[in-house]
Amino acid sequence: MNINWYPGHMKKTKESIQNNLKLVDVIFELIDARIPYSSRNPMIDMIVGDKARVIILNKSDLADSKVNIIWQDFFNKSSIPSVLIDALKGKGIDKLISLSNEVTSEKRLAYAKKGVKNLPIRAMIIGIPNVGKSTLINTLTERRGAKTGNKPGITKSNQWIKTKGNLELLDTPGILWPKFEDQQVGLNLAFTGAIKDEILDVETLALRFIEDMIKIYPELLIDRYKVNLEDKTALEILDSIGRIRGCIVKGGEIDYTKAGNIILDDFRKGNMGRITLELPES
């Protein structure tokens, strides 16, 4: 989904999410474990306020397992409990449910004193496009092809779906805008496919990706493409990969767009291995 965000749109989204906040006990802030900083909405703390919240690091199956733990600890220390999940395979869901119980325990205890037992926990998923919101709804509710609104942040029907663990989930997630201000953030979002390739041409995007990979996971590039990285520029490496993968046009020239697409696609599918592009301190 490609949404063009403009100020009026963001204001509406914020207001509609804040209206829904009143209906729920806990917010599930969904982010991408490969880019936990870049995939957070810039105004999230202001929007959510002091409502109970769980940070869900999704796509943890694609992210570096050592770095997953670092990010989880980081958020836990910042006083927002976090959980690593794989929404596609349903991993981490039990932990998510137990955390939801923990962060809403006061409210449920208060109701229990009044005689209301097993008060369902009402939750809403929010996050920027492509972090896995619909996938998580489908997994939690064990249904296929959840209808999710195509208008950002606008919940049309406010239907509650019962899920396991005594949760009640708002059927439409809140779709938030991504960060725009920082160039590296924009690149990270484009690498993962959260914002569309049109923002930068594929060749430039792939070159930037290779530059980052040389710094953080050179061995994964070498393993995947059998290239020699020594004293090579990103362009020379893209060239080698294109040659090895047969991305050649008439006259023996390399088709850089095709080669770039191979690399970005490999990253997005996890074919290169598990990769996290950001650490908390950076």
The answer to whether 8 is a known ligand-binding residue is no
Per rule CB under 6 A, is residue 40 in the interface with ligand GDP?
Answer: no
In the 8-state DSSP scheme, what is residue 194?
Answer: S
Q: Which is nearer to ligand GDP, 26 or 63 (CB)?
A: 63
Q: Single out the residue of 45, 235, 64 nearest to residue 243, CA to CA.
A: 235
The residue from 88, 119, 161, 229 that contacts ligand GDP (CB under 6 A) is 88
Rounded least distance, CB 56 to ligand GDP, Å: 10
Q: Which is nearer to ligand GDP, 56 or 205 (CB)?
A: 56
The residue from 14, 133, 208, 224 that contacts ligand GDP (CB under 6 A) is 133
User: What is the footprint of ligand GDP within residues 109-128 (CB under 6 A)?
Assistant: 127
The answer to whether 107 is a known ligand-binding residue is no
User: What is the footprint of ligand GDP within residues 147-166 (CB under 6 A)?
Assistant: 148
Concatenating the DSSP letter of every residue in 181-193 gives S-HHHHHHHHHHT
Per rule CB under 6 A, is residue 220 in the interface with ligand GDP?
Answer: no
Q: Considering only the stretches 69-77, 113-121, 131-139, 259-267, report the one whose residues sit in contact with ligand GDP under the rule CB under 6 A.
A: 131-139
Q: Which is nearer to ligand GDP, 228 or 271 (CB)?
A: 271
Q: Single out the residue of 160, 174, 93, 91 nearest to residue 129, CA to CA.
A: 174
User: Does residue 52 sit in helix, strand or coil?
Assistant: strand
Per rule CB under 6 A, is residue 61 in the interface with ligand GDP?
Answer: yes
The answer to whether 16 is a known ligand-binding residue is no
Q: Write the CA distances from 251 to 247, 248, 255, 258, 262, integer angstroms.
A: 12, 8, 11, 16, 21
Report whether 214 contacts 229 (CB < 8 A).
yes
Per rule CB under 6 A, is residue 274 in the interface with ligand GDP?
Answer: no
The answer to whether 60 is a known ligand-binding residue is yes
127-157 burial code (b ≥16 CB/10 A, e <16): bbbbbbbbbbbbbbbeeeebebbeebbebee
- Which single residue brings its beta carbon nearest to ligand GDP? 132
The answer to whether 260 is a known ligand-binding residue is no
Q: Single out the residue of 109, 106, 125 nearest to residue 117, CA to CA.
A: 109
The answer to whether 67 is a known ligand-binding residue is no
Distance separating alpha carbons of residues 137 and 169, to the nearest angstrom: 8
Binding site for ligand GDP (CB under 6 A): 1, 58-59, 61-62, 86-88, 127, 129-135, 148
Report the binding-site residues for GTP.
58-61, 130-135, 174
